Amino acid sequence: MHKQTLFLLTSVLALSPQTWAADLSVSDAWVRATPPGKMMTAAYATLQNMSNETLVITGVTSDVTAHTSVHETRIERDRATMRPVPKLTLNAGERTHLTPGGTHIMLMKLSEPLTDAQSIDICFTLENNAPVCNEFSVTKHRASMKHH
């Protein structure tokens, strides 16, 4: 009986990172195509914590950039400024929208320009969990962007 219990416990622990990773849902993922001569752009998506536990995003990565980070746009003294967000916390069941003019992903020092109809992968680093990667489609503009 002890061998069965040990096997079951080992199996659960081995599967846990995948289970945790599935707790972050990424939808409506897109990246703005780079204008001529620019080697940075922004990415947007809807993120939802599908678990009963708090998820903390501690970083983002992409193979097409030298530097990727979550940023927020703030209005200070009638000027829009951007600053990095070191951690993005999603409570159980919470949904957040990464949008133009709000919280978004900055893709800096691109290895090559991003063009319309291309797609790239962006990975979210989760505190105490396995990373979650998702495909983002590249487009010149997102006319159908839903704001909530």
**The domain that contains 64 carries what CATH number?**
2.60.40.1890
Residue 145 domain flag: no
Segment (H or E) for 2: helix 2-21
Reference 100, options 135, 139, 64; nearest CA is 139
Mean pLDDT, residues 41-48: 97
Residue 41 domain flag: yes
Beta strand segments in the chain, E: 24-32, 40-49, 55-61, 65-76, 79-84, 88-90, 95-98, 103-110, 119-126, 132-139
The number of domains in the chain is 1
User: What confidence tens digit (pLDDT) does each residue in 104-128 have?
Assistant: 999 999 999 999 999 999 999 999 8
